[in-house]
Amino acid sequence: MNSKHNTRNTNSGKAISLALVCVLLCTGLFLSAGCKSSSEPAPSASDFKLEEIDINGIKNQNKYTDVPTDATVTLTFSEKVAVGSIAGNIILKKSGETIPINLAHNDNPALKITFNGLVSYADYELVINTGLKSEAGAAIFTGKVFNITTGIDMSDKFPRIPDDELLDLAQRQTFRYFWDFGHPVSGMAPERTATANTVTTGGTGFGIMAMLAAAQRNFVSRIEALNRVQKIVTFLDTKCTKYHGVFSHWINGETGATIPFSANDNGGDLVETAFLMQGLLTAQRYFNGADAAETKLRNDITRLWEDVEWTWYSKGGENVLYWHWSPDKGWVMNHRIGGWNECLIVYVLAASSPTHPIAKAVYDEGWARSGAFANGKSYYGYTLPLGSDYGGPLFFTHYSFLGLNPHDLSDAYADYWEQNRNHSLINYNYCIENPRKYGGYSADCWGLTASDGNNGYSAHSPTNDKGVIAPTAALSAMPYTPEESMRALRFFYYKLGDKLWGEYGFKDAFNLSEQWFASSYLAIDQAPIIVMIENHRSGLLWNLFMSHTDVQNGLKKLEFTSPHIQ
């Protein structure tokens, strides 16, 4: 799971005069702070100058981002402008090419201009040359250059369809990542589209749950899904290296050999294994038929499940679980698994194990850190019971809750529906506020979580905001914020679909401020979209996982309460 572990260089147009060279050197200086040499006198009150620039209501910025292609610009000067001097002196440029402007309204000294032929996600320069003159004949005191980046073309990129059909389409297309792109030998999910032979343990567990949703919605048949899950289980059982029953983060999809995640992370990964087991236990409940094929799958899953030595990962009996162990590195990673984050499922499954169960004290002292993971503060009017300020990345509300049903689920530390819903709403409202003024953030375009970005992979959140929106964040929050998530789905598909929608559903992420769209898909981001939309629509995966006898026993041991615990 990648959670362990973003300046565009604007190329100015060539100088068309010595005056424009001065302009380019002085980009961004406003009003009386114009460009002048050390010998140039300060302007007097009668100097002709630009007093204000307003682009669609945003005033006096050096750099404008996310500007509509039909933007209107109002330039207000200190004196009336000689209209005859406008041509050639108020110009728009793109890559050195001049774009025509239109004088839409002349309320001198305020001039309202529009542009012809702007395109989305492009860089422009609005240049005011020193040849511009006032009606009194004074040359403008200093030229200026304003950087303009256009934003979203708000036309629909695809025909409108009913919301239910759009949900079907999002699930079906995203599912193709796990079905069409599954490894040909192991059946497991590739880590990402660029790493076809590196398959991922946790992403495969998520993908198995996606296959169950796909079978339920007839994207594939039940027998096709059964055969694919059996292929994965047989590979895990007979080919893969295990470390006290625990699988590595990355596996070679052909041989089953461990692929080190890092120099010291070359053994068992307890968190990735928990994500895998969450998927396998859910599949065990789904394929409940009495025939030989479904019976065999259930028995094979039981063997893998009961082989996991959860207690080994307490490092000799400490009241905490550790993320990694390897035969040659031992406990050198020394990564304690403590909350609040995405790892609740690890402790729930460790308590649920019929063969190597942990005691409740390991949950209380290790995961809950004796209550130290509590928050209790309010953000945008929503109280956050647990975790860091503003909640952290949204995958905290997804990974453990693909199977765990947070509805009315509580323990000594939190109500998990309140935790996840409020975390999602905090993330949503932060994006609406958009304190860092990134392009595109709105009630329609929101969601910060771990994903690829224009400057690399990062766990994006309100406290680590780099302008990167990941579709999985809002879409996988569908159970918690159905209206807000549906708005995001419509926006991502209809408005950004020409850039964002592809053969495996939505690309991983985008940054409108930087005109960047990922070309990648990640297993751990794609699967929660399918699974959490399904949980919102039917509760399928929640109902299956929560009904597993071992899971029920583990939740009881940890003193969870829920109407789904019998």
**CATH T-level assignment (fold) for domain 163-557:** Glycosyltransferase (1.50.10)
Q: Where does 18-150 sit in CATH, by number?
A: 2.60.40.1220
pLDDT tens for residues 364-391? 999 999 999 999 999 999 999 999 999 9
In sequence order, what are the residues at sequence separation of 6 or more whose Cβ sits closer than 8 angstroms to the Cβ of residue 101?
90, 91, 92, 113, 114, 115, 116
User: Which two structure tokens, joined as six digits, stand for 152?
Assistant: 């979203």
* Residue 445 to residue 107: CA distance in whole angstroms: 36
Amino acid (one-letter) located at 91: I
Give the start-to-end residue ranges of the domains of the chain: 18-150, 163-557
Chain length of the chain: 566
Provide the sign of the torsion angle of the four alpha carbons 553, 555, 561, 563, taken in this order.
negative
Q: At what angle do helices 549-557 and 344-352 cross, to 10 degrees?
A: 110
User: Which two structure tokens, joined as six digits, stand for 96?
Assistant: 């050195």
pLDDT tens for residues 208-266? 999 999 999 999 999 999 999 999 999 999 999 999 999 999 999 999 999 999 999 99
pLDDT tens for residues 303-361? 999 999 999 999 999 999 999 999 999 999 999 999 999 999 999 999 999 999 999 99
Are the C-beta atoms of residues 133 and 47 closer than 8 Å to each other? no
Say how far residue 413 (Cα) sits from the centre of its chain.
Answer: 27
Residue 46's pLDDT band (boundaries 50, 70, 90)?
low
Are the C-beta atoms of residues 246 and 268 closer than 8 Å to each other? yes
What does the pLDDT read at residue 13?
36
- Comparing 26-30, 50-54, 240-244, 484-488, the range with the smallest average pLDDT is 26-30
0.85 exceeded by pTM: no
**Cis peptide before 184, with omega less than 30 degrees from 0?**
no
Work out the percent of the chain whose per-residue pLDDT is above 70. Answer: 92
* Residue 263 to residue 275: CA distance in whole angstroms: 23
First-to-last C-alpha distance (Å) of the chain: 32
| H helical segments located in 269-318 | 270-286, 292-307
H or E element, residue 547: none
Count CB neighbours of 117 within 10 A. Answer: 9
Burial of 235 (0-12, 13-18, 19+ CB in 10 A): buried
Count CB neighbours of 135 within 10 A. Answer: 15
User: Which two structure tokens, joined as six digits, stand for 333?
Assistant: 């990673």
Are the C-beta atoms of residues 260 and 325 closer than 8 Å to each other? no
